Amino acid sequence: MLHLASQSPRRRDLLARLGLSFGRVDVDVPEVRSAGESAADYVVRVAADKARAGLRALIESGEPDDAIVLGADTEVVLDGVVFGKPRDAADATRMLQALSGRTHRVISAVVLAGIGRQAEATVITEVTFDVLDADTIAAYVASGEPHGKAGAYAIQGGAELFVIRMDGSHSGVIGLPLQQTAALLRSFGLQPQPFAIYDHKA
């Protein structure tokens, strides 16, 4: 059975779009970038750590040996600096000021882990923000949306108004690149049924 090693409601909703049943496993993985570690390597490592930690937890709880765990991580990167989740409103403001009028990268990694096998995919999306004035940033931070979001914004929310251009995966920026995730699942013998969740009778 497939399990999602994430507490993110956004990843849960995205994975559900693929039409597969899945469980959830809570993991506590440190998200600390090592000295000299590239941003891309860091994102992949965290995603892999989540998947492997989830698999270990399931095995220890007596889950069948055919369990498959999906781990994912998404980070915003500007000038080589990883913008994780803001600590507070001031940190969110600082991030948005830095992203204003600039093009940044969003790196999203997905890792599937099963006993004796692992596969991964990484997607890099370039996002260009409009110039954000102080009032716009203050209002957005006050909305509470930046809390818990890499780079202090949610592209599927109010921050979609900030985006001039995006080159890459929209779902990857949200937190789970669906095309690449579906391909990984198929490589593990699972068959996504994304269109089965839609009712075309209306």
Instruction: Just list the catalytic residues.
Output: 73
Cβ(40)–Cβ(122) below 8 Å: yes
Phi, psi of 40 (to 5 degrees): -65, -45
Phi, psi of 126 (to 5 degrees): -95, 130
Instruction: Report how far residue 86's alpha carbon sits from residue 153's, in angstroms, rounded to the nearest whole number.
Output: 10
Residues 6+ apart with CB under 8 A from 70: 2, 3, 4, 5, 6, 15, 22, 51, 110, 111, 112, 181
Residues 6+ apart with CB under 8 A from 26: 5, 7, 57
Residues 6+ apart with CB under 8 A from 90: none
The CA-atom distances, in angstroms, between 190 and each of 2, 22, 38, 70, 168 are 9, 11, 32, 12, 25
